Amino acid sequence: MGPLLSLPRSPLPSLVREGPNYRPRRPERTAFYKLFEGRLLEYLRAHEERFEPRDGPLRPVVKESVEAFLECGRLTSGLARVRCPECRGEHLLAFSCRTRNFCPS
């Protein structure tokens, strides 16, 4: 993957091209992602009702980390256009959240 070339004005997922050297990560298709996406609010509610009286409120970093993870690697959450020096193809590269102990990228 080469250096950053430019930032497009808006996300254009249709420009994503898979090639021999590039395959978008598509985190939203993983079971791990779907688990957090589908259950985050339910978990936060359950924690508040069942565990908060005994253990205190959830630390804000928990919700923040999961929310960052759900945005991580998704073109709709920010991207750069890059050119591969080998195949000369242009690709859209989604930003990573870099959340400590949680980011899969």
Cα separation, 70 vs 36, whole angstroms: 8
Helix (H, G, I), strand (E, B) or coil at 28: helix
- Asked if residue 79 binds Zn ion (CB under 5 A), the reply is no
Q: Considering only residues 79, 82, 93, 97, which one is a binding residue for Zn ion as defined by CB under 5 A?
A: 97
Write the binding mask 26 to 65 for Zn ion: x where contact by CB under 5 A, - elsewhere: ----------------------------------------
What strands, in cross-sheet order, belong to the sheet with 79-83? 4-6, 79-83, 90-94
How many Å apart are CA 33 and CA 69, to the nearest integer?
8
Among 58, 62, 84, 103, interactor with Zn ion by CB under 5 A: 103
**Amino acid identity for residue 101 in this structure:** N
Question: Given candidates 72, 82, 92, 93, which one binds Zn ion under the rule CB under 5 A?
Answer: 72
Q: Is 16 in the site for Zn ion (CB under 5 A)?
A: no
Q: Which is nearer to Zn ion, 43 or 77 (CB)?
A: 77
Q: How far apart are CA 79 and CA 25, in angstroms?
A: 13
- Give the binding site for Zn ion (CB under 5 A): 72, 96-97, 103, 105
